Amino acid sequence: MLKIVTGSIARRMSALLLLFVVGFAGLTAYQLTNIHNNLIDLKKAEIKSVIETAVTMLGNYDARVQAGEMTLDAAQTEAKAMLHAINYSGDDYVFAVTHDYVMIVNANPAVVDTNMRDRTDTNGKRFIEEYTDGARTQGSIFTTFMFSGANPDAPAIEKLTYVQNFAPWSWAIGTGVLQTDIDAIYQENALSSALIALGVIAVLMLAGWLIVRSLTKPITALNGQMAELADGKFDITIQGTGRADEIGAMARAVDVFRDNGEKIAHMTQAEAARILRDEETRKEMMTELQSAFGSVVDAAAEGDFSQRVTADFPDPELNALASSVNSLVKTVDTGLAETSQVLSALANADLTKRVEGLYEGAFGRLKDDTNAVAIKFSDIVGRLRDTSGQLKLATGEILSGANDLSERTTKQAATIEETSAAMEQLAATVTQNSTRAKSASDNAIASTRSAEEGGVVMAEATQAMERIATSSSKISNIIGMIDDIAFQTNLLALNASVEAARAGEAGKGFAVVAVEVRRLAQSSAQASTEVKALIEQSALEVRGGTRLVADAAAKLDEMLDGVRANSELLEGIARDSSEQASAIQEVGVAVRQMDEMTQHNAALVEEINASIEQTEGQAIQLDGIVEIFSVHQAPAEPLRHAAPPRRKAAPAYRAQGNTAIKMDDWESF
């Protein structure tokens, strides 16, 4: 290190240039690393946005199905066509696979409607099973696998894939991006940055080489010409007399010496003798001058600009020359010292130093270039400092919101667990009520059947009573005819008695028979009258019984109608209770799924918190790195503070019923 500091001008300036090149290359490598990481994050956000949009559109189709606007098959057919039509970034596409690993949407028609569970990549990884199960259990998943496309003989390429679950249809929707696409973009940016860095380094190295050459070459040449003048060679041309800097002043002073020496060579011999004496004196002076100048120039050639011409010459021109040399060395020493201080400060992370001296020519350009480098580094560090401050502010706000969300998610999970338990208890109660209502309905059906059978018996009894009444009426008619026959027989017996009486003794026997016949006719008439009276009484009783049976049948029909109505009501209650039990079970399943999703959301919030804390730690590390640099407190672009998040209207929750949410637990949600 000491050898470089005390070495030649070229070595010292080359070391400064090398120091700058190394620092610039390190900064470029750091920027390329950030570009690669940011590019991967950008691609992740891009494919995630595409899938979230697709899932939202699927949700719209499902909402139309739930609203009865279209059938499930029609909605799924349109959804598949919509997913197949999505194409972005050239050849990137969206695929869909069922929870049973059947590929239903893919850019390759050969795999559609095929079970892909056993499909593996070149590393033997069952990637379709992995990302389908991951999306189903976690909601969404990022994964990578080796992708060979439709051609299995093609070389496999790593593919970054994002898959999200769509639970209503048991689908998993995903898309991916090839690592070669990311690498192509990165290589393009890296090549541009590398070319720019190489261009800047080349320009700076060329400028440094030209500056070093513009200083060392004329000084070395002027030193050689001064040696020739000391040897009496005056026919030379002094180089650099047209320069406007200190080297030009030195060259013009040496040219004066050359002119004077040449004049002395053309004088007379007397004058020559005098001049020879003077020349001897001048030679001594030149020797002293060469000694004085030589030590200064040699030291300057070796990089030591602390030496000065200290001799006092009787010749004012020599003193002027010495003064010019001292001025040149001082200018070079001051310029290089200031430049070295600035570059050393840059190497030590102090960006406040500048080259303050007034310089012209090459040193003026060196001053401008050095100060431009320092200003550019100060601007970069200032922007990094502002960026890290904004990053810490944003991560702090996000972390606060995430913690609040985590607490509320935990409360929501507890409430959903309570709701799930209540729904299970309600489902058990409704199921028991459904069973009892079914039993009551069965009893009512049996009662209805018995009542219907009683109605049939009453109808048959009514018909039998009607037939009895008809038979009684017919018997009464027959008895009437018998009564008429007995009356006629009595008349005939009476006539026979009269005729027998007229016949006298001859008609006595006939009269006895007629009397007997008459008595029998009278007995028959009396008996028929009694039977008729009994038959009529029986008919009257039968008519009363028929009326009573008809009334009983009517009442039984009314009872049967009531029993049927009750049976229908009980059947409806049993059916409604069964449907209600099924609906409550479905609600219970939905609540359990909501509970699982809430638990998953809580886990995701914890992961987000950890990521944000890690990002905040990285921002603090970046602050620590930036704080190493010292910069001017110049007015900078004001920090853009993150806008406060908009407060959304609190959602309305049920305040009554089994699904009511305790308001004291959700006041701030």
SS3 11: helix
**In a domain? residue 133:** yes
Query: pLDDT at position 73, please?
Result: 92
Evaluate if pTM is beyond 0.75: no
Query: pLDDT at position 87, please?
Result: 84
Residues 283 and 186 in one domain: no
**In a domain? residue 485:** yes
Measure the CA–CA gap between 579 and 463, rounded to whole angstroms: 46
Residues 175 and 238 in one domain: no
SS3 662: coil
Helices 246-265 and 269-301, axial angle in degrees (round to 10): 160
Residues 20 and 110 in one domain: yes
Count the Cβ atoms, other than its own, within 10 Å of residue 191.
10
CATH of the domain at 17: 3.30.450.20
Identify the residue with better confidence: 661 or 267. 267
Query: pLDDT at position 379, please?
Result: 79
**In a domain? residue 375:** no
**In a domain? residue 209:** no
Phi-psi region of 101 (alpha: psi -120 to 50; beta: other; left: phi over 0): left
Residues 281 and 185 in one domain: no
Residues 6 or more apart in contact with residue 596 via CB below 8 angstroms: none
Identify the residue with better confidence: 41 or 628. 41
Q: Do the beta carbons of residue 462 and residue 553 sit within 8 Å? A: yes
Q: Do the beta carbons of residue 351 and residue 631 sit within 8 Å? A: yes
Query: How much is the average pLDDT of 60-83?
Result: 91
Which residue in this structure is represented by tokens 């393009």?
A: 188
Query: How much is the average pLDDT of 24-37?
Result: 75
The residue from 348, 370, 385 where one domain ends is 348
Does 60 have pLDDT greater than 80?
A: yes
* Averaged pLDDT score across all residues of the chain: 75
Measure the CA–CA gap between 81 and 77, rounded to whole angstroms: 6
**In a domain? residue 202:** no
The residue from 348, 376, 395 where one domain ends is 348
Domain count, the chain: 3
Measure the CA–CA gap between 164 and 93, rounded to whole angstroms: 15
Measure the CA–CA gap between 251 and 325, rounded to whole angstroms: 10
Window from 9-23, 51-65, 387-401, 644-658 with minimum mean pLDDT:
644-658
Does 39 have pLDDT greater than 70?
A: yes
Confidence of residue 658 (pLDDT cuts 50, 70, 90): very low
Residues 475 and 587 in one domain: yes
Greatest mean pLDDT among 89-103, 203-217, 439-453, 581-595: 89-103
SS3 314: coil
Measure the CA–CA gap between 180 and 335, rounded to whole angstroms: 51
Residues 252 and 154 in one domain: no
- Could you read off the pLDDT of 510-544 as tens digits, one per residue? 677 777 776 777 777 777 777 777 777 777 777 77
In 3D space, the residue among 472, 469, 471, 525 whose CA is nearest the CA of residue 494 turns out to be 525
SS3 188: helix
In 3D space, the residue among 443, 454, 430 whose CA is nearest the CA of residue 658 turns out to be 430
Greatest mean pLDDT among 146-155, 274-283, 569-578: 569-578
- Could you read off the pLDDT of 344-382 as tens digits, one per residue? 777 777 777 787 777 777 777 777 887 888 787 777 777
CATH of the domain at 523: 1.10.287.950
Query: How much is the average pLDDT of 588-608?
Result: 75
Does 169 have pLDDT greater than 90?
A: yes
- Could you read off the pLDDT of 91-139 as tens digits, one per residue? 788 999 999 999 999 988 888 899 988 888 888 889 889 999 999 999 9
Which residue in this structure is represented by tokens 């804390």?
A: 613
> Three-state SS across 438-451?
HHHHHHHHHHHHHH
Confidence of residue 648 (pLDDT cuts 50, 70, 90): very low
**In a domain? residue 82:** yes
For the chain, the helix, strand and coil percentages under 3-state DSSP, each to the nearest 5: 75, 5, 20
Q: Do the beta carbons of residue 470 and residue 477 sit within 8 Å? A: no
**In a domain? residue 56:** yes
Residues 24 and 162 in one domain: yes
What CA–CA distances, in Å, run from 14 to 17, 18, 207, 303?
5, 6, 11, 12
SS3 357: coil
In 3D space, the residue among 332, 444, 355 whose CA is nearest the CA of residue 13 turns out to be 332
Q: Which DSSP state fits 71? A: -
Measure the CA–CA gap between 525 and 519, rounded to whole angstroms: 10
Measure the CA–CA gap between 120 and 127, rounded to whole angstroms: 6
Residues 180 and 235 in one domain: no
**In a domain? residue 218:** no
φ, ψ dihedrals at 576, nearest 5°: -65, -40
The residue from 163, 193, 223 where one domain ends is 193
Determine the structural domain holding residue 100 and report its residue range.
12-193
- Could you read off the pLDDT of 270-287 as tens digits, one per residue? 566 666 666 677 667 667
φ, ψ dihedrals at 93, nearest 5°: -140, 175
> Three-state SS across 136-168?
HHHCEEEEEEEECCCCCCCCCEEEEEEEEEEHH
Measure the CA–CA gap between 328 and 316, rounded to whole angstroms: 18
Query: pLDDT at position 221, please?
Result: 76
